[in-house]
Chain A
């Protein structure tokens, strides 16, 4: 089965400094990986996805992630944090299973705190 591990439950940064949210994955085949963001009392929004093409994936709001097969990692970064980035971030892997249909397997989440 596919799984992801988010290495930090909380990350605190100052506004204008870089953001790094870490994620390692476990997969028996070439994975599909995603980062979702969830603002308080809001639904989940897709930030970016890895499609087995380019290993450096650019998403919305200045976020990007790099797929590193040798390290089984898919870390999320942003050069400069903004106050509006404060939210819960989920690293997600797609699991095809035996039926051919895909389900999403979520990590436990990383809460990003941004201070002025």
Chain B
């Protein structure tokens, strides 16, 4: 049973460029959440997708956008990259209809470096 997978593993971009990160959820999961983890900090919630719609969003600018496909996989897009966008981007999957104590399973992350 494959867990959450993310691609690419590492990415280097220049300020002002655009980037797309990809995530495939754990088998059977239908909800994908994205988190940003800056160096030395805890992950911060970006947004969450269910049934191909953004269901909730954290305090991130509109430069951060996403998409969920019919097969439940997801993309995170960041436009007009800033140096401060350098971070580990984590994808997590879960069941939307889970109990209040439901679990999110995390992928290994994509390390984005903006120069």
Contacts and interface: CB of A to CB of B under 8 A. Distances in A.
B63 to A, nearest CB: 20
A102 interface: yes
B101 A44 contact: no
Interface in B27-66: 31, 33, 35, 40-45, 48, 50, 55-56, 58
A105 B48 CA distance: 13
B80 to A, nearest CB: 25
Contact of A97 (B50, B56, B104): B56
Given A44-B106, A97-B56, A51 B101 contact: yes
A101 B31 contact: yes
Interface string A101-116: 1111111110000000
B2 to A, nearest CB: 14
Interface in B93-115: 96, 99-109
A94 B45 CA distance: 11
A102 B42 CA distance: 17
Given A90-B42, A103-B33, A43 B100 contact: no
A75 interface: no
A102 B100 contact: yes
Contacts of B48: 101, 103
Interface of B: 4, 31, 33, 35, 40-45, 48, 50, 55-56, 58, 90, 92, 96, 99-109
7 contacts: A46-B105, A49-B101, A99-B55, A101-B48, A103-B48, A109-B40, A109-B42
Given A103-B45, A104-B104, 6 more contacts: A43-B90, A94-B102, A96-B100, A102-B102, A103-B56, A104-B92
Interface of A: 32, 34, 36, 42-46, 49-52, 90, 94, 96-97, 99, 101-109
